[in-house]
Amino acid sequence: MKSGFSGHLVGIGGVSMSPLAEVLYKMGVPITGSDMNDSDAVHRLRALGIDVKIGHKAGNIGGARFIIRTAAAREDNVEIAAARKAGIPVFERAEAWGYIMRGYKNAVCVAGTHGKTTTTSMTTHILLAADADPTVMIGGTLNKLQSGYRVGAGDVIVLESCEYYNSFHSFFPTIAVVLNVDADHLDFFKDLDDIKASFRHFASLVPENGHIVCNGDDANTMDALRPLGRPLFTFGTNEQASVRAVNIEQNGSGSSFDVLYNGALYCHVILNVPGRQNVMNALAAAATAITLNIPPAAVTEGLLDFTGAGRRFEYKGSVKGADVYDDYAHHPRELHALLDAVESLGYDRVILAFQPHTYTRTKAFFDDFISELKRADLVFLAEIYAAREKNTIGISSRDLAEKVPGAVYCPSFDDIEARLCALAGKGDIILTVGAGDIYKVGEHLTGKAASVG
Protein backbone atom coordinates (compact mmCIF):
# COMPACT_ATOMS: atom_id res chain seq x y z
CA MET A 1 0.00 0.00 0.00
CA LYS A 2 1.42 3.33 -0.95
CA SER A 3 0.13 6.73 -1.95
CA GLY A 4 -1.19 6.72 -5.51
CA PHE A 5 -2.60 3.19 -5.17
CA SER A 6 -6.37 3.21 -4.76
CA GLY A 7 -7.90 1.07 -2.06
CA HIS A 8 -11.32 -0.35 -1.34
CA LEU A 9 -12.51 -1.01 2.22
CA VAL A 10 -15.06 -3.76 2.77
CA GLY A 11 -17.16 -2.89 5.83
CA ILE A 12 -16.02 0.72 5.72
CA GLY A 13 -18.66 1.93 8.19
CA GLY A 14 -17.30 -0.12 11.10
CA VAL A 15 -16.01 1.39 14.34
CA SER A 16 -12.36 1.05 13.36
CA MET A 17 -12.77 0.79 9.59
CA SER A 18 -14.25 4.25 9.11
CA PRO A 19 -11.40 6.05 10.90
CA LEU A 20 -8.93 3.90 8.97
CA ALA A 21 -10.56 5.12 5.75
CA GLU A 22 -10.23 8.74 6.89
CA VAL A 23 -6.59 8.33 7.93
CA LEU A 24 -5.69 6.77 4.57
CA TYR A 25 -7.69 9.42 2.72
CA LYS A 26 -5.88 12.20 4.57
CA MET A 27 -2.58 10.48 3.73
CA GLY A 28 -3.48 11.01 0.09
CA VAL A 29 -4.57 7.44 -0.69
CA PRO A 30 -7.67 7.30 -2.96
CA ILE A 31 -10.33 5.27 -1.11
CA THR A 32 -13.69 3.71 -1.89
CA GLY A 33 -15.76 1.46 0.31
CA SER A 34 -18.86 -0.60 0.93
CA ASP A 35 -20.98 -1.53 3.91
CA MET A 36 -24.14 -3.50 4.53
CA ASN A 37 -25.79 -0.61 6.35
CA ASP A 38 -26.12 3.14 6.00
CA SER A 39 -24.93 5.00 9.10
CA ASP A 40 -23.61 8.27 10.47
CA ALA A 41 -20.10 7.01 9.79
CA VAL A 42 -20.98 6.39 6.15
CA HIS A 43 -22.48 9.87 5.85
CA ARG A 44 -19.30 11.36 7.31
CA LEU A 45 -17.11 9.50 4.82
CA ARG A 46 -19.28 10.57 1.91
CA ALA A 47 -19.07 14.18 3.10
CA LEU A 48 -15.29 13.90 2.75
CA GLY A 49 -15.70 12.77 -0.84
CA ILE A 50 -15.25 9.03 -0.32
CA ASP A 51 -17.50 6.90 -2.51
CA VAL A 52 -19.35 4.41 -0.29
CA LYS A 53 -21.75 1.79 -1.65
CA ILE A 54 -24.45 0.18 0.48
CA GLY A 55 -24.49 -3.57 -0.03
CA HIS A 56 -21.69 -5.85 -1.15
CA LYS A 57 -21.29 -6.46 -4.89
CA ALA A 58 -18.37 -7.67 -6.96
CA GLY A 59 -18.49 -4.50 -9.06
CA ASN A 60 -17.86 -2.32 -6.00
CA ILE A 61 -14.14 -3.04 -5.98
CA GLY A 62 -13.80 -1.19 -9.30
CA GLY A 63 -10.21 -0.32 -10.10
CA ALA A 64 -8.90 -0.89 -6.58
CA ARG A 65 -5.26 -1.94 -6.31
CA PHE A 66 -5.71 -3.33 -2.80
CA ILE A 67 -8.56 -4.37 -0.50
CA ILE A 68 -8.86 -3.92 3.27
CA ARG A 69 -11.55 -5.91 4.99
CA THR A 70 -13.24 -5.88 8.35
CA ALA A 71 -12.96 -9.06 10.42
CA ALA A 72 -16.61 -9.81 9.63
CA ALA A 73 -15.93 -10.02 5.86
CA ARG A 74 -14.75 -13.57 5.31
CA GLU A 75 -13.71 -15.42 2.16
CA ASP A 76 -17.29 -16.01 1.02
CA ASN A 77 -17.95 -12.25 0.79
CA VAL A 78 -18.60 -11.46 -2.88
CA GLU A 79 -16.15 -8.55 -2.92
CA ILE A 80 -13.38 -10.58 -1.29
CA ALA A 81 -14.03 -13.44 -3.74
CA ALA A 82 -13.89 -11.01 -6.68
CA ALA A 83 -10.61 -9.56 -5.42
CA ARG A 84 -9.08 -13.02 -5.05
CA LYS A 85 -10.17 -13.93 -8.55
CA ALA A 86 -8.65 -10.72 -9.95
CA GLY A 87 -5.40 -11.19 -8.02
CA ILE A 88 -5.93 -8.02 -5.96
CA PRO A 89 -4.17 -8.27 -2.59
CA VAL A 90 -6.49 -8.42 0.44
CA PHE A 91 -5.31 -7.02 3.77
CA GLU A 92 -6.87 -7.37 7.20
CA ARG A 93 -7.82 -4.16 8.99
CA ALA A 94 -5.13 -4.77 11.60
CA GLU A 95 -2.48 -5.18 8.89
CA ALA A 96 -3.42 -1.76 7.53
CA TRP A 97 -3.04 -0.15 10.94
CA GLY A 98 0.27 -1.96 11.32
CA TYR A 99 1.44 -0.46 8.03
CA ILE A 100 0.44 3.03 9.16
CA MET A 101 2.10 2.84 12.58
CA ARG A 102 5.46 1.94 11.07
CA GLY A 103 5.71 5.56 9.99
CA TYR A 104 5.83 6.81 13.59
CA LYS A 105 8.77 6.99 15.98
CA ASN A 106 6.52 6.00 18.89
CA ALA A 107 3.71 3.48 18.41
CA VAL A 108 1.72 2.98 21.62
CA CYS A 109 -0.52 -0.10 21.42
CA VAL A 110 -2.94 -0.41 24.34
CA ALA A 111 -4.08 -4.00 24.88
CA GLY A 112 -5.92 -5.93 27.56
CA THR A 113 -9.12 -7.89 28.00
CA HIS A 114 -10.72 -4.92 29.77
CA GLY A 115 -10.15 -1.16 29.85
CA LYS A 116 -8.60 -0.60 26.41
CA THR A 117 -10.91 2.18 25.27
CA THR A 118 -10.72 4.12 28.53
CA THR A 119 -6.93 3.82 28.84
CA THR A 120 -6.36 4.78 25.20
CA SER A 121 -8.63 7.78 25.78
CA MET A 122 -6.80 8.79 28.98
CA THR A 123 -3.45 8.49 27.18
CA THR A 124 -4.81 10.69 24.41
CA HIS A 125 -5.82 13.36 26.93
CA ILE A 126 -2.31 13.32 28.43
CA LEU A 127 -0.64 13.61 25.02
CA LEU A 128 -2.90 16.50 24.03
CA ALA A 129 -2.11 18.26 27.32
CA ALA A 130 1.58 17.83 26.48
CA ASP A 131 1.05 19.29 22.96
CA ALA A 132 2.39 16.06 21.46
CA ASP A 133 -0.09 16.29 18.53
CA PRO A 134 -0.73 12.50 18.43
CA THR A 135 -2.46 10.34 15.88
CA VAL A 136 -5.10 8.29 17.70
CA MET A 137 -7.35 5.30 17.05
CA ILE A 138 -9.88 4.44 19.76
CA GLY A 139 -12.58 1.77 19.63
CA GLY A 140 -15.18 4.25 20.84
CA THR A 141 -16.00 7.94 20.89
CA LEU A 142 -13.98 10.43 22.93
CA ASN A 143 -15.80 13.67 23.71
CA LYS A 144 -12.64 15.74 23.42
CA LEU A 145 -12.18 14.54 19.84
CA GLN A 146 -15.89 14.25 19.01
CA SER A 147 -14.88 11.01 17.30
CA GLY A 148 -12.84 7.88 17.88
CA TYR A 149 -9.75 8.97 16.02
CA ARG A 150 -7.40 11.87 15.38
CA VAL A 151 -4.77 12.49 12.73
CA GLY A 152 -1.85 14.46 14.18
CA ALA A 153 1.51 15.70 12.97
CA GLY A 154 3.52 14.49 15.98
CA ASP A 155 5.74 11.43 16.27
CA VAL A 156 3.31 9.40 18.43
CA ILE A 157 0.47 7.14 17.35
CA VAL A 158 -1.80 5.58 19.99
CA LEU A 159 -4.02 2.65 19.09
CA GLU A 160 -6.49 0.51 20.98
CA SER A 161 -5.24 -3.00 20.24
CA CYS A 162 -7.59 -5.97 20.30
CA GLU A 163 -6.57 -9.57 20.87
CA TYR A 164 -9.56 -11.10 19.05
CA TYR A 165 -8.39 -13.20 16.10
CA ASN A 166 -4.86 -12.22 17.20
CA SER A 167 -5.40 -8.90 15.44
CA PHE A 168 -2.70 -7.12 17.44
CA HIS A 169 -0.08 -9.53 16.11
CA SER A 170 -0.12 -7.43 12.93
CA PHE A 171 1.02 -4.32 14.82
CA PHE A 172 4.49 -2.86 15.30
CA PRO A 173 4.45 -1.44 18.84
CA THR A 174 7.37 0.44 20.29
CA ILE A 175 5.37 0.58 23.53
CA ALA A 176 3.04 -2.33 24.28
CA VAL A 177 0.60 -1.74 27.13
CA VAL A 178 -1.02 -4.82 28.72
CA LEU A 179 -3.77 -3.83 31.15
CA ASN A 180 -4.92 -7.32 32.12
CA VAL A 181 -5.32 -10.80 30.70
CA ASP A 182 -8.58 -12.67 31.22
CA ALA A 183 -10.60 -15.46 29.63
CA ASP A 184 -12.74 -14.05 26.81
CA HIS A 185 -13.43 -14.55 23.09
CA LEU A 186 -13.60 -18.28 23.69
CA ASP A 187 -15.20 -18.69 20.27
CA PHE A 188 -11.66 -18.10 18.96
CA PHE A 189 -9.21 -18.87 21.77
CA LYS A 190 -9.02 -22.40 23.14
CA ASP A 191 -8.58 -21.40 26.77
CA LEU A 192 -6.87 -18.93 29.11
CA ASP A 193 -3.41 -20.37 28.33
CA ASP A 194 -4.04 -19.74 24.64
CA ILE A 195 -4.97 -16.14 25.45
CA LYS A 196 -1.82 -15.70 27.54
CA ALA A 197 0.26 -16.98 24.64
CA SER A 198 -1.39 -14.45 22.34
CA PHE A 199 -0.55 -11.55 24.66
CA ARG A 200 2.99 -12.90 25.08
CA HIS A 201 3.51 -12.83 21.32
CA PHE A 202 2.07 -9.32 21.12
CA ALA A 203 4.53 -8.07 23.75
CA SER A 204 7.40 -9.84 21.98
CA LEU A 205 6.87 -7.56 18.98
CA VAL A 206 8.34 -4.63 20.94
CA PRO A 207 11.94 -3.91 19.89
CA GLU A 208 14.72 -4.12 22.46
CA ASN A 209 14.80 -0.32 22.83
CA GLY A 210 11.02 -0.20 23.38
CA HIS A 211 8.89 -0.72 26.48
CA ILE A 212 6.46 -3.36 27.72
CA VAL A 213 4.13 -1.55 30.14
CA CYS A 214 2.09 -4.05 32.15
CA ASN A 215 -0.14 -4.52 35.17
CA GLY A 216 2.03 -5.86 37.98
CA ASP A 217 -1.08 -6.48 40.11
CA ASP A 218 -2.62 -8.89 37.59
CA ALA A 219 -1.40 -12.46 37.99
CA ASN A 220 -2.48 -13.55 34.51
CA THR A 221 -0.61 -10.67 32.91
CA MET A 222 2.59 -11.49 34.77
CA ASP A 223 2.22 -15.20 33.98
CA ALA A 224 1.87 -14.32 30.31
CA LEU A 225 4.82 -11.95 30.11
CA ARG A 226 7.47 -13.32 32.49
CA PRO A 227 8.54 -16.08 30.05
CA LEU A 228 9.72 -13.36 27.65
CA GLY A 229 12.73 -12.87 29.91
CA ARG A 230 12.72 -9.14 29.20
CA PRO A 231 12.49 -6.06 31.41
CA LEU A 232 8.87 -5.21 32.21
CA PHE A 233 7.78 -1.69 33.13
CA THR A 234 5.10 -2.51 35.68
CA PHE A 235 2.34 -0.39 37.15
CA GLY A 236 0.17 -1.26 40.15
CA THR A 237 -0.38 -0.83 43.86
CA ASN A 238 2.22 -3.37 44.99
CA GLU A 239 5.56 -2.18 46.32
CA GLN A 240 7.53 -3.80 43.49
CA ALA A 241 5.74 -1.84 40.73
CA SER A 242 7.87 0.63 38.76
CA VAL A 243 4.92 3.04 38.70
CA ARG A 244 2.75 2.84 41.79
CA ALA A 245 -0.54 4.37 42.98
CA VAL A 246 -0.59 5.33 46.67
CA ASN A 247 -2.89 7.38 48.92
CA ILE A 248 -5.92 6.37 46.87
CA GLU A 249 -9.09 8.14 47.95
CA GLN A 250 -12.61 7.81 46.59
CA ASN A 251 -14.27 11.21 46.24
CA GLY A 252 -17.92 10.87 45.25
CA SER A 253 -17.97 10.09 41.53
CA GLY A 254 -14.19 10.33 41.24
CA SER A 255 -10.96 9.59 43.06
CA SER A 256 -7.49 10.91 43.70
CA PHE A 257 -4.07 9.35 44.24
CA ASP A 258 -0.35 9.97 44.06
CA VAL A 259 1.81 8.39 41.38
CA LEU A 260 5.24 7.17 42.49
CA TYR A 261 7.91 6.43 39.91
CA ASN A 262 10.77 4.31 41.24
CA GLY A 263 9.66 5.27 44.75
CA ALA A 264 9.64 9.05 44.21
CA LEU A 265 6.56 11.26 43.75
CA TYR A 266 5.92 11.76 40.04
CA CYS A 267 2.55 13.53 40.09
CA HIS A 268 -0.82 13.82 41.83
CA VAL A 269 -3.91 12.65 39.95
CA ILE A 270 -7.53 13.73 40.35
CA LEU A 271 -10.00 11.62 38.38
CA ASN A 272 -13.54 12.64 37.49
CA VAL A 273 -14.63 9.09 36.68
CA PRO A 274 -15.57 6.52 39.35
CA GLY A 275 -14.27 3.10 40.19
CA ARG A 276 -11.11 1.31 41.22
CA GLN A 277 -10.66 0.06 37.66
CA ASN A 278 -10.28 3.63 36.44
CA VAL A 279 -7.48 4.23 38.96
CA MET A 280 -5.64 1.34 37.30
CA ASN A 281 -6.47 2.62 33.81
CA ALA A 282 -5.15 6.06 34.74
CA LEU A 283 -2.04 4.54 36.29
CA ALA A 284 -1.39 2.64 33.04
CA ALA A 285 -1.74 5.89 31.09
CA ALA A 286 0.67 7.62 33.48
CA ALA A 287 3.21 4.80 33.12
CA THR A 288 2.93 5.07 29.35
CA ALA A 289 3.50 8.82 29.58
CA ILE A 290 6.68 8.20 31.58
CA THR A 291 8.08 5.99 28.80
CA LEU A 292 7.43 8.87 26.38
CA ASN A 293 9.15 11.42 28.65
CA ILE A 294 5.92 13.39 29.09
CA PRO A 295 6.16 16.07 31.83
CA PRO A 296 4.29 15.14 35.06
CA ALA A 297 2.17 18.31 34.83
CA ALA A 298 0.68 17.09 31.53
CA VAL A 299 -0.32 13.79 33.18
CA THR A 300 -2.09 15.65 35.97
CA GLU A 301 -3.78 18.04 33.53
CA GLY A 302 -4.77 15.41 31.01
CA LEU A 303 -6.32 13.06 33.54
CA LEU A 304 -8.14 15.87 35.35
CA ASP A 305 -9.70 16.86 32.02
CA PHE A 306 -10.88 13.31 31.28
CA THR A 307 -14.60 12.76 31.92
CA GLY A 308 -15.04 9.40 30.25
CA ALA A 309 -15.25 7.77 26.84
CA GLY A 310 -18.41 7.01 24.91
CA ARG A 311 -20.38 4.08 26.35
CA ARG A 312 -18.09 3.89 29.39
CA PHE A 313 -20.35 4.89 32.31
CA GLU A 314 -21.71 7.60 30.03
CA TYR A 315 -24.39 9.86 31.48
CA LYS A 316 -27.38 9.97 29.13
CA GLY A 317 -29.82 12.13 31.11
CA SER A 318 -32.64 11.56 33.57
CA VAL A 319 -36.20 10.27 33.58
CA LYS A 320 -38.65 10.94 36.43
CA GLY A 321 -35.75 11.91 38.69
CA ALA A 322 -33.67 8.80 37.97
CA ASP A 323 -30.18 9.18 36.48
CA VAL A 324 -29.57 7.13 33.33
CA TYR A 325 -26.10 5.86 32.47
CA ASP A 326 -24.90 3.61 29.67
CA ASP A 327 -21.92 1.24 29.77
CA TYR A 328 -20.26 -1.16 27.35
CA ALA A 329 -19.58 -3.86 29.99
CA HIS A 330 -20.11 -7.27 28.38
CA HIS A 331 -17.88 -9.56 30.46
CA PRO A 332 -18.58 -10.53 34.10
CA ARG A 333 -15.39 -8.85 35.28
CA GLU A 334 -16.42 -5.60 33.56
CA LEU A 335 -19.92 -5.86 35.03
CA HIS A 336 -18.35 -6.41 38.45
CA ALA A 337 -16.18 -3.29 38.10
CA LEU A 338 -19.18 -1.24 36.95
CA LEU A 339 -21.37 -2.30 39.87
CA ASP A 340 -18.52 -1.70 42.31
CA ALA A 341 -18.22 1.86 41.00
CA VAL A 342 -21.98 2.44 41.16
CA GLU A 343 -22.26 1.13 44.72
CA SER A 344 -19.88 3.86 45.87
CA LEU A 345 -22.19 6.59 44.54
CA GLY A 346 -24.96 6.18 47.12
CA TYR A 347 -28.05 5.62 44.96
CA ASP A 348 -31.14 4.14 46.64
CA ARG A 349 -31.72 1.58 43.89
CA VAL A 350 -29.65 0.19 41.04
CA ILE A 351 -31.89 -0.73 38.10
CA LEU A 352 -30.02 -2.73 35.48
CA ALA A 353 -31.09 -3.34 31.88
CA PHE A 354 -28.56 -5.84 30.53
CA GLN A 355 -28.08 -7.20 27.04
CA PRO A 356 -25.65 -10.15 26.92
CA HIS A 357 -23.21 -10.09 24.00
CA THR A 358 -22.76 -13.28 21.93
CA TYR A 359 -24.05 -16.75 22.68
CA THR A 360 -20.61 -18.26 23.33
CA ARG A 361 -19.69 -15.63 25.94
CA THR A 362 -23.06 -16.01 27.68
CA LYS A 363 -22.61 -19.78 27.92
CA ALA A 364 -18.93 -19.64 28.93
CA PHE A 365 -19.56 -17.22 31.81
CA PHE A 366 -23.16 -18.14 32.63
CA ASP A 367 -22.66 -18.61 36.39
CA ASP A 368 -20.45 -15.51 36.66
CA PHE A 369 -23.08 -13.39 34.95
CA ILE A 370 -25.70 -14.68 37.39
CA SER A 371 -23.52 -13.73 40.37
CA GLU A 372 -23.09 -10.17 39.09
CA LEU A 373 -26.70 -9.66 38.00
CA LYS A 374 -27.89 -10.62 41.49
CA ARG A 375 -26.14 -7.51 42.84
CA ALA A 376 -28.58 -5.07 41.21
CA ASP A 377 -31.90 -4.24 42.89
CA LEU A 378 -33.92 -4.72 39.71
CA VAL A 379 -32.82 -6.54 36.56
CA PHE A 380 -34.31 -6.51 33.06
CA LEU A 381 -32.74 -8.77 30.47
CA ALA A 382 -32.84 -8.12 26.74
CA GLU A 383 -32.27 -11.00 24.36
CA ILE A 384 -28.65 -11.89 23.60
CA TYR A 385 -27.00 -9.69 20.98
CA ALA A 386 -25.76 -12.14 18.35
CA ALA A 387 -23.04 -9.95 16.81
CA ARG A 388 -21.04 -12.30 14.55
CA GLU A 389 -22.65 -15.52 15.81
CA LYS A 390 -25.60 -17.81 15.18
CA ASN A 391 -27.38 -19.44 18.08
CA THR A 392 -26.20 -23.01 17.61
CA ILE A 393 -26.03 -23.39 21.41
CA GLY A 394 -29.73 -22.85 22.07
CA ILE A 395 -29.18 -20.32 24.84
CA SER A 396 -31.31 -17.28 25.70
CA SER A 397 -31.38 -14.40 28.16
CA ARG A 398 -34.50 -16.11 29.48
CA ASP A 399 -32.15 -18.75 30.94
CA LEU A 400 -30.32 -16.06 32.91
CA ALA A 401 -33.58 -14.51 34.10
CA GLU A 402 -34.71 -17.85 35.53
CA LYS A 403 -31.60 -17.96 37.76
CA VAL A 404 -31.69 -14.36 39.03
CA PRO A 405 -34.41 -13.73 41.64
CA GLY A 406 -36.84 -11.08 40.46
CA ALA A 407 -35.19 -10.64 37.06
CA VAL A 408 -37.50 -10.05 34.11
CA TYR A 409 -36.85 -11.29 30.59
CA CYS A 410 -38.00 -8.71 28.03
CA PRO A 411 -38.35 -9.82 24.42
CA SER A 412 -38.28 -6.24 23.09
CA PHE A 413 -36.67 -2.89 23.86
CA ASP A 414 -40.14 -1.35 23.98
CA ASP A 415 -40.98 -3.69 26.86
CA ILE A 416 -37.80 -2.74 28.75
CA GLU A 417 -38.39 0.95 28.16
CA ALA A 418 -41.98 0.79 29.39
CA ARG A 419 -40.96 -1.05 32.57
CA LEU A 420 -38.08 1.34 33.29
CA CYS A 421 -40.31 4.36 32.77
CA ALA A 422 -42.95 2.99 35.11
CA LEU A 423 -40.45 2.19 37.87
CA ALA A 424 -38.07 5.15 37.67
CA GLY A 425 -37.94 7.59 40.54
CA LYS A 426 -35.72 9.98 42.42
CA GLY A 427 -32.75 8.23 44.04
CA ASP A 428 -32.55 5.58 41.31
CA ILE A 429 -29.77 4.93 38.83
CA ILE A 430 -30.76 3.18 35.61
CA LEU A 431 -27.95 1.36 33.82
CA THR A 432 -28.24 0.21 30.21
CA VAL A 433 -25.37 -2.24 29.82
CA GLY A 434 -23.89 -4.36 27.05
CA ALA A 435 -21.81 -4.18 23.88
CA GLY A 436 -24.78 -4.39 21.54
CA ASP A 437 -27.49 -1.79 20.93
CA ILE A 438 -29.03 -1.62 24.42
CA TYR A 439 -27.85 2.02 24.62
CA LYS A 440 -30.85 2.89 22.44
CA VAL A 441 -33.16 2.20 25.39
CA GLY A 442 -31.52 4.86 27.57
CA GLU A 443 -31.30 7.36 24.73
CA HIS A 444 -34.97 6.91 23.90
CA LEU A 445 -35.99 7.14 27.56
CA THR A 446 -34.06 10.35 28.22
CA GLY A 447 -34.99 11.78 24.83
CA LYS A 448 -38.68 11.28 25.55
CA ALA A 449 -38.26 12.80 28.99
CA ALA A 450 -36.56 15.84 27.50
CA SER A 451 -39.23 16.28 24.84
CA VAL A 452 -41.99 16.03 27.44
CA GLY A 453 -40.18 18.51 29.70
**CATH code, 76:** 3.40.50.720
Give first-to-last CA distance, the chain, whole Å: 53
Q: Which of 116, 316, 362, 446 is catalytic?
A: 116
Element (H, E) at 158: strand 156-160
3 state DSSP class of 48: helix
Mark which of 304, 336, 362 sits at the end of a domain: 304
Same domain membership, residue 295 and residue 318? no
Q: State which of 278, 304, 330 marks the end of a domain.
A: 304
Q: Are residues 259 and 156 in the same domain?
A: yes
Point out the annotated binding site.
Answer: 112-118
Residues 221 and 107 in one domain: yes
Q: What is the pLDDT of residue 452?
A: 45
Region 89-107: mean pLDDT is: 94
Q: Is 117 a catalytic residue?
A: yes
Q: Is residue 448 predicted with pLDDT exceeding 70?
A: no
Same-domain check for residues 118 and 156: yes
Considering its fold, how many domains does the chain have in total?
A: 3
Whether 87 and 146 share a structural domain: no
The sheet that has 7-10: what strands, in order across it?
51-54, 31-35, 7-10, 66-69, 90-92
* Least confident residue range of 20-24, 173-177, 397-401: 20-24
Check: CB of residue 235 under 8 Å from CB of residue 284.
yes
Catalytic option among 32, 120, 135, 160: 160
Model confidence at 323, in pLDDT bands (50, 70, 90)?
Answer: very high
Q: Which residues contact 281 (CB under 8 A, 6 or more apart)?
A: 115, 118, 119, 122, 179
- Catalytic site residue 307? no
Is residue 141 among the annotated active site residues?
Answer: no
Report H helices in 144-275: 192-204, 219-225
Binding site residue list for ATP: 112-118
pLDDT band at 450 (very low <50, low <70, confident <90, very high): low
- Mean pLDDT of the region 392-412: 97
Q: What integer is the mean pLDDT of 11-30?
A: 87
257: left (phi over 0), alpha (psi -120 to 50) or beta: beta
Does a structural domain hold residue 309? no
Expressed as residue numbers, the domain containing 36 is 7-92
Give the mean pLDDT of the chain: 94
Helix, strand, or coil (residue 95): helix
Q: What is the pLDDT of residues 275-297, one digit of tens each?
A: 999 999 999 999 999 999 999 99
- CATH number, position 395: 3.90.190.20
pTM here is: 0.89
- Residue of 117, 124, 221, 300 with catalytic role: 117
What does the pLDDT look like over 158-217, one tens digit per residue? 999 999 989 999 999 999 999 999 999 999 999 999 999 999 999 999 999 999 999 999
pLDDT score recorded for residue 135: 93
How far apart, in whole angstroms, are the C-alpha atoms of residue 306 and residue 117?
13
